[in-house]
Structure 1
């Protein structure tokens, strides 16, 4: 049985591996539907990090380093797909 501490240690070790801080260019060709779903998943994950949900295996230092970068990826993906306004309206609908 794996505990949260064990998973956190593994994730911490992987993130500290050589080359993990290097920039990588990824060229994706996906449908707008996939962009919308992917950004929604990232946003939900970021929300769970911000609320510090119990049992999170994401190391504290990685949260601070990656939070703004992931938010940037979401915003950039939505903007490139022309879905920024639609995403905001969907968020408003789901908040009601």
Structure 2
């Protein structure tokens, strides 16, 4: 529980850091299927709806790989890839 509080504090601190409100232009071209899946992943991630999370388990691996690639591309274009990797390493500790 204490680890969750510390990680939450770190996220809050990073989100209010200078430059985090700067606009980043990301030119995106993707299929409608990928857009629909991205929407489902985002909504599933921010909701407690177990049914939605169960439906996401049915998504083919290749489609999930495309979403992951898109997310990594967005992080790279925003200059946040390294920061994201460091945040992930905090989650596993």
Fold-level similarity (TM above 0.5): no
Give the TM-score range, shorter chain. 0.3 to 0.5
TM-score for both structures, normalised by structure 2: 0.44
Q: Higher relative CO (CA 8 A, sep ≥ 6), structure 1 or 2?
A: 1
TM-score for both structures, normalised by structure 1: 0.43
